[in-house]
Amino acid sequence: MSPPPETPRILFLFSDTGGGHRSAAEAIIEAIDLQFPGRAACEMIDIFKEYAPPPLNLAPRIYPPLSRMPTLWGMGYRLSDGPRRTRVFYNVLWPYVRRNLRELLNEHPCELVVSVHQLINVPVARLASARGLPFITVVTDMVTTHAAWYATRATHIIVPTEAAFRRGLKAGIRPEQMSVVGMPVADRFCQPLDERPAIRRRLGWPEDLPVVLMVGGGEGMGPIEQMAAAIDRQKLPLALAIVTGRNQALRARLERLRWHNPVKIYGFVTEMPAFMRAADILVTKAGPGTISEGFISGLPMVLYSRMPGQEDGNVTFVVESGAGVWAPQPEEAAAAIRRWVECPEERWQAASVCRRLARPHAAREIARILAAKIGLYPSGGGEDKGSWVE
């Protein structure tokens, strides 16, 4: 059923340069639909793919191979970061992109523009401000946020952590221009699930052993195979659940190995909320979305890789808070798992920290901020706790 013509429209700008931008936009739209059903029409646009001039329109295609070159990525991140450098770059870029951005807003009229991608905020905020159109940024990096996230002409900027808030202040954003809300996560991660034994029985996981959940993202990237083998060599009383995503070659190699521990190997899965609720330890890269989901699930984590620059702070945040450990080498990861298995009280303490850091209502709170901008929700209203159950 399509919304009536007078329904306010919200335009979400994202790009598939990493899975987190799309997931964040989808989580916010889901929260809007849950809290304000039929009262707002939301549209998602991959701005690089659909409206960027060449060669910027190649960004979604360039990102995967570039992300496999962390040294080059980190160098580019550091060289481009900083308010002054960002301002100079976008002043040079503006004449090149303004026509495309005008086409975007002309072809997709709306009452509110929302960005979940850092590279478009300054020029979009410039055009939206000139048109008197509200523009809100939802920052989807966790701690070491690039200066490009912080467009001074944005109506409002929603950040996930206090550290991101402080970086916004250094970038020239006024305190009242920002809100610390958290990372938007799909509602299915925030709903009460069956008790752990019931989930494990359904999944076929052992009920009497701690389960280590290993994930490498949708593409199954990272040293998952080496990590799993190192953990298995410890011959600890545990089980492994390994998610290889779309990496069929990795799945095939893992299925050919002989294991000491009980092991379940999966490809691309849609049951990650249940997996996280049923597991005891998470082994993952330091992506902000997965970390946020792990927090909500009370799942202590072993982080094995990071994108230089934007994910450096994620590692520091997790480790210094006591929610997990940094273990980039397989033997380091295996040692961390051994410590948590042999000293479960340390694991339980880390799980408690995760639950304290969790922000399961972030997507719903962001939805209410957006709704207030288009008159669907009173500004400054009390926080609605939604359906979360501790």
Q: Tell me the CATH number at 87.
A: 3.40.50.2000
Q: Is residue 180 part of a domain?
A: yes
Residue 382 lies in a domain: no
153 and 181 housed in the same domain: yes
Together in a domain, 122 and 241: no
DSSP 161: S
Same domain, 163 and 239: no
- For the chain, the farthest-separated pair of C-alpha atoms sits apart, in whole angstroms, at 64
| Cα dihedral sign, 281-284-288-293 | negative
One domain, residues 70 and 130: yes
Q: What are phi and psi of 139, to 5 degrees?
A: -75, 125
Q: Which domain holds residue 18?
A: 9-187+360-373
Cα distances from 332 to residues 111, 227, 231, in angstroms, run: 51, 9, 10
Backbone angles phi, psi at 313, to 5 degrees: -65, -25
Verify that 179 and 223 share a domain, yes or no.
no
Together in a domain, 198 and 300: yes
pLDDT tens, the chain, 390 aa long = 455 557 999 999 999 887 689 999 999 999 999 999 999 999 999 999 999 999 888 888 888 788 778 888 888 889 899 999 999 999 999 999 999 999 999 999 999 999 999 999 999 999 999 999 999 999 999 999 999 999 999 999 999 999 999 999 999 999 999 999 999 999 999 887 678 899 999 999 999 999 999 998 655 567 899 999 999 999 999 999 999 988 899 999 999 999 999 999 999 999 999 999 999 999 999 999 999 999 999 999 999 999 898 899 999 999 999 999 999 999 999 999 999 999 999 999 999 999 999 999 999 999 999 999 999 988 754 443 333 222
| Main-chain phi, psi angles of 324, to 5 degrees | 180, -170
Distance CA 281, CA 283 (A): 7
Distance CA 323, CA 244 (A): 24
Which H or E element spans position 89?
A: helix 83-107
Q: Please give the distance of CA 197 from its chain centroid, rounded to a whole number.
A: 28
Q: Are residues 153 and 174 in the same domain?
A: yes
Is residue 29 included in any domain, yes or no? yes
Contacts of 86 (CB under 8 A, 6+ apart): 80, 122, 146, 147, 148, 171
The CA-atom distances, in angstroms, between 82 and each of 97, 136, 151, 176, 389 are 21, 21, 12, 21, 41
Question: Around Cβ 95, how many Cβ atoms within 10 Å?
Answer: 8
Q: What is the DSSP string of 100-118?
A: HHHHHHHHS--SEEEE--G
| 218 contact partners, CB below 8 Å, separation of at least 6 | 19, 245, 246, 268
Q: Is residue 123 part of a domain?
A: yes
| pTM summary value | 0.91
pLDDT value of residue 57: 87
Q: Is 25 exposed, middle or buried (CB count within 10 Å of its CB: 0-12, 13-18, 19+)?
A: buried
DSSP 186: -
Residues 138 and 222 in one domain: no
- Count up the domains in the chain and report the number: 2
Domain assignment present for 3: no
User: Same domain, yes or no, for 182 and 227?
Assistant: no
Query: Within a domain: residue 2?
Result: no
Residue 387 lies in a domain: no
Say if residues 149 and 324 touch (Cβ distance below 8 Å): no
Read off the DSSP letter of residue 177: G
182 and 161 in a common domain: yes
CA-to-CA separations, 220 to 27, 141, 159, 214, 215, in angstroms, rounded: 22, 21, 28, 10, 7
Q: Give yes or no: residues 38 and 166 share one domain.
A: yes
Indicate if 105 and 80 belong to the same structural domain: yes
Cβ neighbours of residue 342 closer than 8 Å, sequence gap 6 or more: 236
Burial class (CB in 10 A: 0-12, 13-18, 19+), 270: exposed
How big is the CA angle at 254 (ends 251 and 257), to the nearest 5 degrees? 155
* In a domain? residue 380: no
